[in-house]
Amino acid sequence: MSLYLERYAWPKELFPQYQPPTNLSMVVVIPCFKEPDLIGALDALNACKEPTHEVLIIVIINESEKAKEGITAANKLTISKLKTYKSKYHLLASYQKLPDKKAGVGLARKIGMDEAVRIFRKAGNNGAIICYDADCRCDSNYLDTIELTYSNPDIQSGIVFYEHQLHRENHEAIVDYELYLRYYIDALRFTNFPYAYQTLGSCITVRASMYEKVGGMNTRKAGEDFYFLNKTIPHGNFVEINGTTIRPSDRVSDRVPFGTGKAVNELLNLAYDYEVYHPNTFEDLRLFFGKLDSFWEDEEWKIPMTIKTFLGDKWVEEIVKIKNSVSTIEAFQKRFFHWFDAFKILKFVHFCRDEFYQNVELEEALEWLRSKHYFLKGSKESYLVQLRYLDRNT
């Protein structure tokens, strides 16, 4: 029996009567809350080229125990639609009333992913758990491309390339938001941070054994994707699955405290140009990360004032402690980035914004990024097209 399932998983097995096929290779998990177009998301999966092995789709229709009548009515409508839906893949659905304090996308994802682990164990294999959202679309090669990726037994986790749907209604807002997301990750790559990857929930894929190893999905109401990948990526054997595309919705949403829907809503109400983190923040991080060889060789240790102020007086002690725990520079670098990880970087970025460098307009930040990557100048939409190309192919 799995220690994870015994101690840390959602305690109730959802589908005890389900007997999975022994050649089950993927389980797609879809959290669904007050979702008007789940069928459209399922249709996109149904239109996919069929993989070589079996696929299971698990839908977790969820709401708080204190949900308002309108939410419950919307979820019950979804359930009724699912009863007559014809999927060419195995399709299971569960309606969950969640504790009010924990109700949200993190817990809904966890419940579905925990069930995927149980089902894989019952099937006797170690396939891929795929996160997908109830308002997403995907390319027709989505499933078979992921299956091909995980046919390599060394691959433990990965993210699928994404492009937001660009409908005309929220067009400018979603262009700005996706530009911000790509700016942030590409700026982190400029710093030489080794774990600079996008962290959208609908992009996550993970092998069942790795999911257990990192303690499963967290139960945050938002940001669950960032924290999960921050645990998973440093284990290695992580890939970007760029041969296919997931297409998250560009719609306005008030379902989570932050994320795409929330950001689009705020952008639509802005009376000024969208602002993002100052490029100097990433210039300072690049200088800091460039000192790792000096730290290892005991040369003069000088770091940017922003980093020194952020870390406080004991930063040297921390570096020495890391050095004393390893015997090679490769191990030192790995341990260093376990300490100065994506979460600490985000805290540093916010610290710089509040104490040193005010946010700048998006177009100024993109001009800085352009100077580093040498892509062509143009409109914001042109920038987005070019950044999508660069991110997929470099």
- Residue 168's pLDDT is what? 66
What pLDDT score does 376 carry? 73
Tens-place pLDDT, residues 142-192: 999 999 999 999 999 999 999 999 876 778 889 999 999 999 999 999 999
Determine if the pTM surpasses 0.85: yes
SS (H, E, C) 261-329: HHHHHHHHCCCCCCEECCHHHHHHHHHHHCCHHHHHHCCCCCCCHHHHHHHCCCHHHHHHHHHHCCCCH
pLDDT digits (tens, 9 = 90+) for 22-51: 999 999 999 999 999 999 999 999 999 999
Where in the chain are all domains bearing CATH 3.90.550.10? Answer: 3-164+197-250
Please tell me the distance from the alpha carbon of residue 25 to that of residue 341, in angstroms, as a whole number: 32
User: What is the reported pLDDT for 267?
Assistant: 46
The class that CATH gives domain 3-164+197-250 is: alpha beta
The confidence score (pLDDT) of residue 253 equals: 53
Q: What is the mean pLDDT of the chain?
A: 93
Res 268: pLDDT: 46
pLDDT digits (tens, 9 = 90+) for 240-261: 999 999 999 886 555 544 445 5
